Amino acid sequence: MAVEVGSVAPDFTLKDENGKDVTLSSLRGRNVVLMFYPLAFSGVCTKELRDIASAADRYSASNAEVLAVSVDSSYTLAAFKRDENLSAHLLADFHPKGAVAQQYGTYLDGIGIAGRATFVIDKDGKVVHKVTSEVMKPRDQQEYLTALAACPV
């Protein structure tokens, strides 16, 4: 079932690139950009996450935490973050594979990866904006930044 604008973002806990638990509800009081992407080290995903790193100060000014979720293991994500100098928290939706992507309606069961979807979540946990794109087509992060500008800090 897809998560839609106006709904409360479903809570979850996933391991980050350092193997530490990150729980969405623990970030209440901050805005969150929850970004699902297919695979670490793939061309489009790498570019999108590099773009986020280059705008880290703009996310910080919006009191926003960027969480990027893929089905990769936390070990793969640690290498990805290190090698590509990324700033987003990378979360492993590894086991059960794609469970959080399924919860958000973005898991592509036929190929076993998360689709390309982003949810902007306000500090109260409400989804205020949603962006989806085809797997091979990058999203425009300006859309996230515009949505964040409307969220209270």
* Any domain includes 16: no
- Own/partner pairs for 100-105, CB < 8 Å, 24+ apart? 100/12, 100/14, 100/69, 101/36, 101/69, 101/71, 103/3, 103/10, 103/12, 104/2, 104/3, 104/10, 104/34, 104/36, 105/1, 105/2, 105/3
- Catalytic residue, chosen from 45, 69, 101, 114, is 45
In a domain, 79, yes or no: yes
Domain carrying residue 57: 29-149
The model's confidence at residue 141, banded by pLDDT at 50, 70 and 90, is confident
Give the model's confidence band at 1: pLDDT under 50 very low, under 70 low, under 90 confident, else very high.
Answer: low
Q: Can you tell me the distance from the alpha carbon of 139 to that of 25, in angstroms, rounded to the nearest whole number?
A: 25
Give me the mean pLDDT over the 101-117 stretch.
95
Q: What tens digit of pLDDT does each residue of 5-21 get?
A: 999 999 999 999 999 99
pLDDT class of 152 with cuts at 50, 70, 90? confident
The answer as to whether 23 is a domain residue is no
Q: What does the pLDDT look like over 51-80, one tens digit per residue?
A: 999 999 999 999 999 999 999 999 999 999
Catalytic annotation present for 151: no
| CATH number of 131's domain | 3.40.30.10
Q: Within a domain: residue 102?
A: yes
Query: Considering the domain boundaries, does residue 62 fall inside one?
Result: yes
Mean pLDDT (whole number) for 91-95 = 96
- Please give the average per-residue pLDDT across 135-144, as a whole number: 89
In a domain, 4, yes or no: no
Mean pLDDT of the chain: 94
21 lies in a domain?
Answer: no
